[in-house]
């Protein structure tokens, strides 16, 4: 379809178009002229996005029901979005991952940063899990999946429809296997350990690849020490630490299925005799461990996003402070503490300040050793701070 046939949406006259010209991936609804014609367009419609003077800025996917009303797909307003278009983007993303990793276990598509706004694809060997978190991607799921299979050669593709992002786009929460078949959880080798990922019923896509480099760094700190992995999911930090020579590890999580998978991973990694789990509320478990006089050489806390958006920021920072206070009390003198946040709204400075306040209130002195972020299979879009969401602060505690 040429741009003469596509609907046109334009910025309000007083809105600066320069960020979009320079590569910004979004236009919010309050920056656009949304007349009756625009509001009647179906979510996911491909449009020509124009500046306030009606000069084309490029091709965008439009959703009048979303706060992110326009997502840029191309600077060429005439470009066809078909299977070949998807294949080109998948091939570019695959080339990067094959440069970075020796085995096909990684995040293949990190949304806007890989040129597919609102789309996440994680690869697990011969299977991929796709999260089409934007209306345009849901509409074009068939050519997207066909392109994915053509480029990667995977036989199984799972659609994961969980999470708040789809709800914000007006999409359903129905997940399904789109191609091939699964026979239970799959093995994922990473950092010397073998993890078990449930691609159909697990959290998000089944495993969090973003913490891979932070798992590795923490494993060095845990050598010869007892490790406590709080909010462990399927044993992310604990199994890496055991593979790296930790004396023992205790994984704490509220999900029994996640801890069961962690146990399976420990068995497959040959470290089951040094691994234990405890199900329960993380705050309560940490308080109970402190009351029992337990101390660990390495404590890691990797909670869910307590501040996913600005309205939750203050409450989220208080939660991070509380976690730091409880966790610091469980670290032996000279031991290590790793605190993580995946909250978009809490930047590194705010998160670190809240964490240090909690450590201080626990009566502990700290050295900051390093700050970690997501691995390189989660590239950062230079005009989208949200794509740099993960923070990990590594500390040594005295006293």
Q: Which residues are catalytic?
A: 342
Which residues 6+ apart lie within 8 Å of 102 measured at CB? none
In angstroms, the CA 156 to CA 36 distance is: 42
Tell me the residue length of the chain.
Answer: 399
- Rg (C-alpha) for the chain, rounded Å, is 23
In angstroms, the CA 134 to CA 62 distance is: 10
Element (H, E) at 297: strand 296-301
Element (H, E) at 213: helix 212-221
Which residues 6+ apart lie within 8 Å of 217 measured at CB? 370, 372, 394
Which residues 6+ apart lie within 8 Å of 37 measured at CB? 7
In angstroms, the CA 241 to CA 229 distance is: 10
In angstroms, the CA 395 to CA 337 distance is: 5
Phi, psi angles (nearest 5°) of residue 260: -65, -40
With b for 16 or more beta-carbon neighbours within 10 A and e for fewer, the 132-160 pattern comes to: bbbbbbbbbbebbbbbbbebbebebbbbb
Asked if 280 and 255 touch (Cβ cutoff 8 Å), the reply is no
Residue 334, sorted as left (phi over 0), alpha (psi -120 to 50) or beta, turns out to be left
DSSP 346: S
């Amino acid at each position: 379809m040429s741009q003469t046939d596509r609907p046109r949406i334009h910025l309000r006259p007083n809105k600066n178009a320069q960020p979009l010209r320079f590569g910004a991936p979004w236009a919010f609804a309050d920056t656009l002229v949304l007349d009756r014609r625009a509001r009647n367009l179906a979510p996911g419609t491909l449009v020509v996005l124009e500046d306030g003077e009606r000069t084309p800025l490029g091709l965008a996917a439009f959703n009048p029901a979303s706060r992110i009303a326009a997502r840029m797909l191309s600077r060429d307003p005439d470009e066809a979005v078909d299977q070949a278009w998807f294949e080109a983007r998948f091939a570019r993303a695959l080339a990067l991952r094959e440069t970075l990793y020796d085995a096909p276990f990684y995040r293949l598509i990190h949304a806007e940063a890989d040129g597919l706004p609102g789309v996440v694809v994680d690869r697990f060997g011969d299977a991929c899990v796709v999260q089409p978190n934007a209306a345009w991607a849901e509409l074009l799921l068939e050519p997207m999946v066909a392109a994915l299979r053509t480029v990667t050669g995977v036989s199984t593709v799972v659609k994961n429809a969980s999470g708040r992002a789809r709800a914000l786009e007006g999409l359903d929460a129905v997940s399904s296997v789109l191609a091939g078949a699964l026979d239970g959880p799959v093995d994922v080798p990473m950092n010397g350990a073998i993890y078990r990922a449930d691609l159909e019923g697990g959290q998000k896509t089944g495993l969090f690849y973003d913490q891979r480099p932070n798992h590795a760094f923490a494993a060095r700190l845990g050598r010869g020490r007892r490790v406590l992995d709080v909010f462990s999911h399927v044993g992310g930090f604990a199994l890496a630490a055991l593979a790296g020579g930790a004396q023992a590890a205790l994984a704490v999580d509220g999900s029994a299925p996640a801890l069961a998978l962690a146990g399976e991973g420990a068995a497959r990694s040959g470290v089951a005799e040094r691994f234990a789990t405890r199900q329960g509320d993380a705050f309560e478990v940490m308080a109970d461990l402190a009351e029992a006089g337990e101390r660990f050489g390495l404590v890691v806390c990797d909670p869910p996003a307590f501040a996913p958006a600005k309205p939750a920021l203050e409450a989220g920072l208080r939660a991070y402070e509380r976690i730091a206070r409880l966790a610091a009390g469980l670290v032996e003198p000279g031991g290590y503490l790793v605190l993580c946040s995946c909250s978009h709204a809490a930047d590194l400075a705010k998160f670190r300040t809240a964490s240090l306040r909690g450590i201080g209130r626990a009566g502990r002195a700290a050295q900051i050793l390093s700050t970690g972020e997501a691995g390189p299979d989660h590239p950062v879009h230079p005009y989208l701070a949200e794509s740099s969401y993960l923070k990990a602060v590594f500390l040594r505690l005295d006293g």
